[in-house]
């Protein structure tokens, strides 16, 4: 017998003719996740098997699989020949020591001499005979022994389905550019788009020297956390210090955030097109702060010429976002107290429902194109 991990995929079966493509991408993603750990990955009808790994590292293998989008569930188990005595030898290893249980057989190999019911009865009976602390309960068992008799002469034996992240394999739904701040929301927004199969690249705006190296390190770390799920390869940073200074100097203070956002979106769209990203992604949630009213969003959107701006958190409460941030392992980093650029020059009373005519009047005091060009010059690329 051999220790194995069984991986079942989520929505891929829905994809009809494209199924082969989705499966190939999924397989590449699993291989990437398992990189550096000795293993063999094999596809068998409707699932993947991880084999030939170091048994002591099974926890690490599961940990990595648990972060791959497209995984519906996975199980640690044993693989053996489809031979009754061998199957029993495995079953007694995964069976509980006491309490109620049920054997549940799936038999793909119709040539196996016992049918599912007979195999349940045979293995269940042997387990009961050997251990008087066990009891069968077919309706509400405390534990299961699952037997999967495969067509190829092998049987998989396991006791548990662990839930995967679900979603679609990253790389099957295009590429987006995430505007990532040092906050809680934007990493979660990137995570949710990756969950639907999108590759997510990151762009961060900083206001050096008003913001410091630690603030940047924090965003690098958040990008790294996101990259475990989202196929992120790079963090791009653009300096918006001079833009903020110019707004501060020339425009009404309550428009700082509104105007800065419009610069950010313009820069992001230009960069997105350069790197082949098909949309912008932000962590905005309706009404969360002054700049995230529908008027604020309209103002930002109106400077983006041809890409959609996706806001996966638009209907989320802060509490829900925090929960997901914790799940993805970003929360502790997100709450570190370093400023990102938006807190520099922040007005005491930002405009909440900016009128387009007022925005344009304020923006008209600036040389927009020159400021954009200068900011784009400051582009830096950090490999993750
Ligand atoms: P977050 O928690 O993501 O920082 P937030 O609640 O602080 O969001 P805002 O500061 O209003 O909200 O930012 C709204 C969105 O704008 C962010 O989710 C992010 O997508 C983008 N954004 C804000 N600041 C930056 C920045 N410095 N660099 C890149 N994107 C930014
Ligand atoms: Mg923020």
- Range 318-331 burial, b when 16+ CB lie within 10 A, else e: eeebbebbeebebb
pLDDT (tens digit, 9 = 90+) per residue, 217-229?
Answer: 999 999 999 999 9
C-alpha separations of 77 from 65, 96, 106 in Å: 15, 14, 15
Q: Tally Cβ neighbours within 10 Å of residue 93.
A: 13
Decide whether any atom of ligand 1 lies within 6 Å of the 204 Cβ: yes
* pLDDT above 90: residue 7: yes
Residue 12 has pLDDT above 70, yes or no: no
Q: What pLDDT is attached to residue 91?
A: 98
pLDDT at 5: 98
Kindly tell me if the per-residue pLDDT of 182 is higher than 90.
yes
- Could you tell which of 176, 177, 179, 299 is best to mutate to test the pocket of ligand 1, judged by most ligand atoms within 8 Å of the CB? 179
Cβ–Cβ < 8 Å for 355, 194: no
User: Using one digit for the tens of pLDDT, what is the confidence trace for 190-212?
Assistant: 999 999 999 999 999 999 999 98
Give the ligand whose atoms come closest to the C-alpha of residue 187.
Answer: 1
Q: What is the pLDDT of residues 346-359, one digit of tens each?
A: 888 899 899 999 99
| Ligand 1 closest atom vs CA 313 | 18
pLDDT grade, residue 14 (50/70/90)? low
The burial of 268, by beta-carbon neighbours within 10 Å (0-12 exposed, 13-18 middle, 19 or more buried), is given as buried
The sign one gets for the Cα dihedral 185, 194, 59, 150 is positive
* Token couple for 237: 């940073």
The pLDDT confidence band at residue 15, using thresholds 50, 70 and 90, is low
- Check residue 20 and give its pLDDT: 86
Biggest CA–CA distance in the chain, Å, is 87
* Residues 3/76, Cβ–Cβ less than 8 Å: yes
Q: Model-level pTM?
A: 0.93
> What is the CA(334)–ligand 2 centre distance, in A?
10
Q: What is the pLDDT, as a whole number, of residue 39?
A: 97
Q: Which domains does the chain have, with CATH numbers?
A: 2-163 (3.30.2130.30), 175-383 (3.40.50.620)
Closest CA to ligand 1's atom 16: 282
> Whole-angstrom Cα distance, residue 347 to residue 209?
19
Mutate which of 192, 258, 283 for ligand 1? The one with the most ligand atoms within 8 Å of its CB, which is 283
**CA 356, CA 84: separation in Å to the nearest integer?**
76
Q: Could you report the per-residue pLDDT of 323-379, keeping only the tens digit for each?
A: 999 999 999 999 998 877 767 788 888 998 999 999 999 999 999 999 999 999 999
Task: Tell whether ligand 1 has an atom less than 6 A from the beta carbon of residue 205.
Answer: yes
> Above pLDDT 70, what percent of the chain?
99
More confident of the two residues 268 and 291: 268
The pLDDT of residue 226: 97
How many CB atoms are located within 10 Å of the residue 66 CB? 14
| Nearest CA residue ID for atom 22, ligand 1 | 181
Q: Is the CB of 341 under 6 A from ligand 1?
A: yes
Residue 25, ligand 1, Cβ within 6 A:
no
342 lines ligand 1 (CB under 6 A): yes
Strand 71-81 relative to strand 99-107, pairing: unpaired
Average pLDDT value over all residues in the chain: 95
Residue 13 has pLDDT above 80, yes or no: no
């Amino acid at each position: 017998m051999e220790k194995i991990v069984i991986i079942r995929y989520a929505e891929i079966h829905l994809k009809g003719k494209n199924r082969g493509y989705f499966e190939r991408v999924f397989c590449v993603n699993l291989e990437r996740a398992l990189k550096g750990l000795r293993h063999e990955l094999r596809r068998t009808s409707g699932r993947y098997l991880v084999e030939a790994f170091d048994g002591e590292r099974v926890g690490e293998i599961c940990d990595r699989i648990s972060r791959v989008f497209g995984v519906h569930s996975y199980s640690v188990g044993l693989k053996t020949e489809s031979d009754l005595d061998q199957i029993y030898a495995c079953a007694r290893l995964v069976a509980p020591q006491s309490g109620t249980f049920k054997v549940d057989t799936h038999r793909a190999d119709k040539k196996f001499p016992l049918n599912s019911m007979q195999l349940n009865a045979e293995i269940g009976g042997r387990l009961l005979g050997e251990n008087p602390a066990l009891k069968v309960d077919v309706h509400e068992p405390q534990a299961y022994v699952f037997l999967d008799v495969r067509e190829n002469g092998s049987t998989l034996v396991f006791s548990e389905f662990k839930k995967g992240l679900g979603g679609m394999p990253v790389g099957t739904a295009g590429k987006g550019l995430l505007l990532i701040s040092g906050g809680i929301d934007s990493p979660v927004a990137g995570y949710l788009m990756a969950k639907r199969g999108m590759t997510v690249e990151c762009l961060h705006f900083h206001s050096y020297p008003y913001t410091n190296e630690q603030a940047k390190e924090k965003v690098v770390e958040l990008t790294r956390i996101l990259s475990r799920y989202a196929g992120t390869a790079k963090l791009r940073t653009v300096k918006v210090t001079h833009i903020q200074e110019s707004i501060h100097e020339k425009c009404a203070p309550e428009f700082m955030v509104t105007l800065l956002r419009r610069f950010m979106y313009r820069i992001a769209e230009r960069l997105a097109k350069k790197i082949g990203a098909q949309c912008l992604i932000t962590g905005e949630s309706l009404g969360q702060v002054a700049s995230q009213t529908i008027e604020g969003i309209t103002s930002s959107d109106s400077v983006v010429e041809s890409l959609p701006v996706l806001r996966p958190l638009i209907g989320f409460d802060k509490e829900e976002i925090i929960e997901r941030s914790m799940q993805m392992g970003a929360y502790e980093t997100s709450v570190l107290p370093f400023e990102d650029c938006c807190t520099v020059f922040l007005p005491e009373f930002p405009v909440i429902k900016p009128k387009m005519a007022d925005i344009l009047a304020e923006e008209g005091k600036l040389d927009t194109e020159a400021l954009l060009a200068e900011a784009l010059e400051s582009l830096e690329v950090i490999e993750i």
